[in-house]
Amino acid sequence: MNAILLFGMPGMGEWVVIGLFVLVFFGARKIPEFAKGLGKGIREFKDAVKDVKKEVDEADKAGKIDDGK
């Protein structure tokens, strides 16, 4: 994260190098599996965030959360 802040966001040339590295490192057959797993992980994270938000809203409606006022 600090490297991104220090050097800025990667440009098109850097993305090409990163893409080539991923292609060579993982191989063409593993990239779809990797992308599928990444998408599944992101979906599960979003679902978990949604569930936590729902629980907090329900607890707030029930008066279980004290906001300190």
Q: How far apart are CA 3 and CA 10, in angstroms?
A: 10
In a domain, 32, yes or no: yes
Structural domain count of the chain: 1
For residue 6, give its domain range: 2-61
The least confident of 21-25, 55-59, 63-67 is 63-67
The pair phi, psi for residue 23, each rounded to 5°, is -60, -45
**What's the pTM?**
0.53
Alpha-helix runs per DSSP H in the chain: 2-7, 12-26, 30-61
Classify residue 54: in a domain, yes or no: yes
Is 6 inside any structural domain? yes
Gap between the Cα atoms of 26 and 37, Å rounded: 14
Q: What is the pLDDT of residue 20?
A: 86
